Amino acid sequence: MCRNGPDPDCGKKSSAPFAALLEDSVEELYENAPCGYLSTLMDGTIAKINATLLDWIGLEADAVVGRMHFTDLLTVGGKLYHETHFAPLLQMRGEISGIALEIKQAGGGRIPVLVSSVVKHGGNGEPLLIRTTVFDARDRRAYEQELLRARRAAEQAHKQAEADRARLQDALAVLQQSLLPATLPSVPGMEAAAHYRTASPDRLGGDFYDLFAIAGDRFAFFLGDVCGKGPQAAAVTSLIRYTLRAAALHDPDPVAALKTLNHVLHERYTGDDPRYCTTIFGTLEPHPTTGEATVRIASGGHPPALVLRADYLPTPGGLLVGVLPTAPFTAATTTLGPGDALVLYTDGLTEARTGEDRTSLYGDEALLEFASSHAGKSAPSVIRALTDLLDDLGDGLDDDTALLALGVPASPPPTRRNA
């Protein structure tokens, strides 16, 4: 240490070892610095350049000083970048640092470099010249290229994943549509409407419904809920739909149709992969003369149908379909008069979470209240009202929801359909 020391030779003595290493030569420090160093006039003409940089570019000072511009050292891409980014920034800010460029070598090679420049100003603030340092960035650039490659690969993979996802969703949507009727048939003297929504767009729903003509003027319908979701549930739904359709043609008795379905499901899904469903199956027999319609239904463990004039149409005691080899199903019969509608639904509706904190369930009471306030409305308007209700429930809907309404218009209707 040599602080405030009385010895006048103190400084000399301590710098002597450094002088011996020639580190007192500013010229030497400049010329052989471990970086390129150059000064240019404000128009870019090179006024001074150190030996390190000359060595990198492979030229003599005579060929460069006063003869070349800084941009002459750069590749064409680098020149463009210099003119569009580097020079304007330097002019606006008086300095710029760490810009990645490439310099050309006399032999045709290129060296990736990092360039920093600062404008030297005169006493009156006028810009005099530009000082620029150039650092060899070969290793760093190789590393950055790796990073860039990795980023591009990641971006590409991300795009591919997005595309795959979109394609999968399209396929799922098509599959989902195949599980539901595209439109409802028109039933003479009646109106029918349905609504279906999945809780999540990328998951196949497990709810199903259908309405179709059977022998004579009669129609059959069903609505239900398969346990589980996804492709497996969809496969079960497909089996259910075609089984019930065939069964209804063979024997239109609702209980018989459910027994057939029970047999098929139980036989098909045994062992460690049991699959079952809840469903209401029914037939519809319109009487054009009276304007009424006879409804016969059977339920296998499904929430009771609503009759929009009064009440539920109770079907207690029916068992889940597909669990036991033989299962009891509960039948019920009613007659729909003008202004009456039968509404089938799945528990996605009754078990929707409501309230501020989404902790209570919509529930049977609320559904009954809905029924009484909508008594006398047409089937399409009931479905519209329920659809609005589902919209209001929003993220309270955890599960898929299927809705099917069959009604006798209060006054003789134009035949309407609404899928």
Q: Tell me the closest approach of the beta carbon of residue 241 to another protein, in angstroms.
A: 43
Scan residues 53-72 and list those touching another protein (CB under 8 A): 69, 71
End-to-end CA distance of the chain: 94
Measured from the Cβ of residue 35, the count of other Cβ atoms closer than 10 Å reads 15
Question: Is 96 a residue that touches another protein (CB under 8 A)?
Answer: yes
Q: Tell me the closest approach of the beta carbon of residue 87 to another protein, in angstroms.
A: 5
Question: Is 87 a residue that touches another protein (CB under 8 A)?
Answer: yes
Question: Is 148 a residue that touches another protein (CB under 8 A)?
Answer: yes
Per CB under 8 A, the list member of 12, 93, 167, 287 interacting with another protein is 93
Question: Is 153 a residue that touches another protein (CB under 8 A)?
Answer: no
Stretch near another protein under the rule CB under 8 A, chosen from 52-60, 81-89, 156-164, 334-342: 81-89
Stretch near another protein under the rule CB under 8 A, chosen from 49-57, 74-82, 270-278, 311-319: 74-82
What is the secondary structure of 89-150 as a DSSP string? HHHHHSEEEEEEEEEE-TTS-EEEEEEEEEEEE-TTS-EEEEEEEEEE-HHHHHHHHHHHHH
Q: Tell me the closest approach of the beta carbon of residue 204 to another protein, in angstroms.
A: 34
Stretch near another protein under the rule CB under 8 A, chosen from 98-106, 195-203, 273-281, 348-356: 98-106
Q: Tell me the closest approach of the beta carbon of residue 159 to another protein, in angstroms.
A: 12
Stretch near another protein under the rule CB under 8 A, chosen from 90-98, 176-184, 232-240, 329-337: 90-98
Per CB under 8 A, the list member of 1, 147, 174, 215 interacting with another protein is 147
Nearer to another protein, 29 or 142 (CB): 142
Q: Are strands 207-213 and 219-226 parallel, antiparallel or unpaired?
A: antiparallel
Per CB under 8 A, the list member of 11, 58, 66, 88 interacting with another protein is 88
Contact 236, 269 (CB under 8 A): yes
Nearer to another protein, 76 or 246 (CB): 76
State how far the Cα of 419 lies from the Cα of 403, in Å rounded to an integer.
Answer: 10
Contact 209, 302 (CB under 8 A): no
- Ranges of H-type helices in 300-374: 347-350, 363-373
Per CB under 8 A, the list member of 10, 89, 119, 213 interacting with another protein is 89
Q: Are strands 95-104 and 219-226 parallel, antiparallel or unpaired?
A: unpaired
DSSP character for 184? Answer: P
Scan residues 159-188 and list those touching another protein (CB under 8 A): none
Per CB under 8 A, the list member of 32, 84, 270, 360 interacting with another protein is 84
Scan residues 106-135 and list those touching another protein (CB under 8 A): 112
Per CB under 8 A, the list member of 9, 27, 43, 126 interacting with another protein is 43
Total of residues contacting another protein (CB under 8 A): 34
Nearer to another protein, 2 or 154 (CB): 154
Stretch near another protein under the rule CB under 8 A, chosen from 48-56, 88-96, 300-308, 354-362: 88-96
Question: Is 80 a residue that touches another protein (CB under 8 A)?
Answer: yes
* Strand boundaries in 337-416, DSSP class E: 341-345, 353-354, 360-361, 401-407
Show contacts of 98-103: CB within 8 Å, 24+ apart: 100/137, 100/141, 100/144, 101/74, 101/75, 102/74, 102/75, 102/77, 102/78, 103/36, 103/56, 103/57, 103/73, 103/74, 103/75, 103/78, 103/134
State how far the Cα of 269 lies from the Cα of 276, in Å rounded to an integer.
Answer: 8
- Ranges of H-type helices in 210-310: 230-250, 254-268
What is the secondary structure of 15-63 as a DSSP string? HHHHHHTTTT-HHHHHHT-SSEEEEEETTSBEEEE-HHHHHHHT--HHH
- The torsion angles phi and psi of 215, rounded to 5 degrees, stand at -60, 145
Question: Is 44 a residue that touches another protein (CB under 8 A)?
Answer: yes
State how far the Cα of 207 lies from the Cα of 399, in Å rounded to an integer.
Answer: 9
What x-and-dash track marks residues 13-42 binding another protein by CB under 8 A? -----------------------------x
Q: Tell me the closest approach of the beta carbon of residue 58 to another protein, in angstroms.
A: 20
Question: Is 91 a residue that touches another protein (CB under 8 A)?
Answer: yes
Q: Tell me the closest approach of the beta carbon of residue 52 to another protein, in angstroms.
A: 22
Contacts of 406 (CB under 8 A, 6+ apart): 187, 190, 191, 192, 211, 221, 284, 293, 295, 336, 341, 342, 379
Q: Tell me the closest approach of the beta carbon of residue 102 to another protein, in angstroms.
A: 8
Question: Is 100 a residue that touches another protein (CB under 8 A)?
Answer: yes
Contact positions vs another protein (CB under 8 A): 42-44, 69, 71, 75-81, 83-85, 87-89, 91-93, 95-102, 112, 141, 144, 147-148
